Amino acid sequence: MASMFSIFLVSITNMCLVSGVLFNAALYKPAFMSSVNRDWNAECANDGNANVYVYSGSCAHSILDNPGWWMVDLRGQYKIEQIVLVNRGDDPAGANRTKNFTFDVFKDDPRLSGDFPMKLGQVCYTRIEPVGRAETFTQSCTAPIVGRFVRFVRYSLDMLNFCEIKVMTSTVLFLENNFSVKSNFRLQITPLSTTYTGDPSLCILLCLQRRDSDTCTAVNWIRTTKQCQMLKVNPRNVTSYVDDPNSDVYVEM
Ligand SMILES: [Ca+2]
């Protein structure tokens, strides 16, 4: 089965997307945190599901850490303008843990530096007081910051537990995306849009250009007709593959 997958690197360094509206650059991107409690992993906090009940499986939750941190890789350089945090809602004591934290931003992966996680990046904002139970807290950065890695960090001993984080931007400076290709399959979901392109690379580029409106993350490329079907799916939870000898499916990694 492994031979059905190959990696297709799409590096669109000249793509500049300036949208008229803020959109969430963190949705479905790779995310990490200082530790994981049960299966409530970091990517539960950017899965697009804002359910505030931890046992729903849509919240990230660490064990006791100092510092405790959560971080998303936006896979490109974005001008970060605002952060939205949806706090835990099912437990008052748990909700009260979301305080004394900072959101900071790095251009490069800070985990590769020797002083991670202690070193601060460029600070979007710091909040001392707790975010309310089940509250959706929205805060603009003091000034927009260009970067790729956006981190929640708290320099005291406690657990992290929040249910969604959105990184709001209106400007993409460039993208660096990897797609995996699975030959002779397609995803059986309703496309966001369908068009015809000369090759799958163009299809993927059109998909990425929809970032500001509908988070296109995958394409079905119908080889026989050169049809490009643009799709929205969580790349970490793809279940709707079907056999199709005329199609290849490309999914963002
Ligand atoms: Ca969530």
| DSSP code per residue over 104-145 | EEESS-GGGSTTTTTS--EEEEEE-SPPPTT-EEEEEEEEEE
Walk along the chain (253 residues) and give the pLDDT tens digit of each residue. 444 567 666 665 556 778 778 999 999 999 999 999 999 999 999 999 999 999 999 999 999 999 999 999 999 999 999 999 999 999 999 999 999 999 999 999 999 999 999 999 999 999 999 999 999 999 999 999 999 999 999 999 999 999 999 999 999 888 888 889 999 999 999 999 999 999 999 999 899 888 888 999 999 999 999 999 999 999 988 989 999 999 999 999 8
Cα 52 to averaged position of ligand 1 atoms, centre (Å): 8
Cα 220 to averaged position of ligand 1 atoms, centre (Å): 26
Cα 43 to averaged position of ligand 1 atoms, centre (Å): 8
Residue 151 pairs in a beta bridge with 71, 104
C-alpha to C-alpha distance for 55 and 119, rounded to whole angstroms: 33
C-alpha to C-alpha distance for 18 and 157, rounded to whole angstroms: 40
C-alpha to C-alpha distance for 28 and 26, rounded to whole angstroms: 6
Cα 247 to averaged position of ligand 1 atoms, centre (Å): 32
Q: In angstroms, how far is the first alpha carbon of the chain from the final one?
A: 18
Strands (E), 88-236: 101-106, 122-127, 136-154, 161-187, 193-196, 218-222, 227-231
Cα 48 to averaged position of ligand 1 atoms, centre (Å): 6
Residue 108: count other Cβ atoms within 10 Å of its Cβ. 11
Cα 161 to averaged position of ligand 1 atoms, centre (Å): 11
Cα 27 to averaged position of ligand 1 atoms, centre (Å): 10
Cα 151 to averaged position of ligand 1 atoms, centre (Å): 16
Give the chain's largest Cα–Cα span: 58
**Under a CB-based contact definition with an 8 Å cutoff, are residues 253 and 176 in contact?**
no
Cα 243 to averaged position of ligand 1 atoms, centre (Å): 31
Cα 39 to averaged position of ligand 1 atoms, centre (Å): 13
